[in-house]
Amino acid sequence: MTTKTRYKIEYYAVSTLIFVLNLIPYRLALLFGDLIGFLAFSIFRIRREVTLDNLKKSFGDKYSDSEYEKIAARSYGNIARGFIEYGLFPSLSKKDLSNYLYIEGEENLEKIKDSGKGAVLVTGHFGSWEMMGAFISRRGWPIDYLVGEQHNLLVNEIMNNHRRIFDIGLIEMGVAARGVFKAVKNGRMVCMLSDQDAGNDGVIVNFLGRPASTPKGPAAFAIKTGAPLACGFIIRDGARQKVIIEPPIEFYPSGDKEKDIKKLTQAYTSLIEGYVKKHPDHWFWPHRRWKSTT
């Protein structure tokens, strides 16, 4: 099978799944996500060992083996639910999102807005992060995502179209610097995921007790533009999800570029770590987060 044929099959499979999902009730669609998570972790065992190893090295003897397996299984369920909700954007766009989410820390958004400088919002692969962006946009904040390009351009376009449904702007990695500077200058909030291994291009900071290569971008952009940097998270809270916007991180550059980037990166990474510790079943454990530093 050629790559082109495989990409077309993936595209039609994803398109069909999205079509079906948007025909069924939201709660039923989430149950389907739970099933996918169960199959991925317990039956097909996709990156199961990586996940359990990451958990045990992060928390040591805090949990028993059976507890680690339960946390990991819930994590896979949350990951799958997040992807399902992303697929539901066409139907969710016609509904009042406050039926599904509420916000804590909206005053921090207002504080950022009042600064008139735009902002950098950092989050991680934590909970249903795409839903958080859609909700913030719906509440009237002009928001852009810094996005990479998927190998399958057909599926990539589906993903980006779902973001556009909620008026989320897109800045491609290839033009990141120019796009971020322009967005921030125009008073927009640029959202970045910054919790995966950055290889040789990253800055080494501490994350869950181990050195981890982390993207420099969020800190570098915030320092260069003078825009506030804040962190946002989304947590499942019964029938609804809670979006939390943390206060902007207080930071005063020293003038030493590399030192400042590392200090600010450590500051927001520590915030992400705190949420992962409180809600370990919300984070994306299958990723090889420490592969560049171990």
Q: What is the dihedral of CA 22, 27, 31, 34, to 10 degrees?
A: 90
In a domain, 289, yes or no: no
Q: What mean pLDDT is reported for the chain? A: 96
Within-domain flag for 223: yes
Residue 149 inside a domain? The answer is yes
In a domain, 64, yes or no: yes
Reduced to 3 states (helix: H, G, I; strand: E, B; else coil), residue 106 is helix
Q: In which residue are the tokens 């376009």 written?
A: 157
Q: In the prediction, which pLDDT does 238 show?
A: 87
Inside any domain, residue 293: no
Residue 288 inside a domain? The answer is: no
Is residue 209 within 8 Å of residue 227, measured between CB atoms?
no
- Which amino acid, 139? R
For residue 184 the two structure tokens come to 């921030």
CB 166, CB 93: distance < 8 Å: yes
Cβ–Cβ under 8 Å, residues 50 and 19: no
Residue 145 CA to residue 167 CA, distance in Å, equals 11
Tally of domains within the chain: 1
State whether residue 292 is helix, strand or coil. coil
- What are the tokens at 109? 């958004």
244 within some domain = yes
Residue-number span of the structural domain to which 158 is assigned: 3-282
133-148, pLDDT tens digit by residue?
999 999 989 999 999 8
**Long-range contacts made by residues 90-96, C-beta under 8 angstroms, separation at least 24?**
90/18, 90/22, 90/162, 90/165, 91/22, 91/26, 92/26, 92/134, 93/165, 93/166
Residues whose CB is less than 8 angstroms from the CB of residue 110 and which lie 6 or more positions away in sequence, other chains included: none
d(CA 251, CA 26): 41
| Residue 130 included in any domain | yes
User: Hey, what's the torsion of the CAs at 165, 169, 172, 173, to 10 degrees?
Assistant: -120
In the chain, which ranges are E strands? 101-104, 119-123, 143-147, 169-172, 189-193, 203-207, 210-214, 229-237, 240-245
Taking only the tens of pLDDT, the chain with its 294 residues reads: 899 999 999 999 999 999 999 999 999 999 999 999 999 999 999 999 999 999 999 999 999 999 999 999 999 999 999 999 999 999 999 999 999 999 999 999 888 888 778 999 999 999 999 999 999 999 989 999 999 889 999 999 999 999 999 999 999 987 788 899 999 999 999 999 999 999 999 999 999 999 999 999 999 999 999 999 999 999 999 889 999 999 999 999 999 999 999 999 999 999 999 999 999 999 999 999 999 998
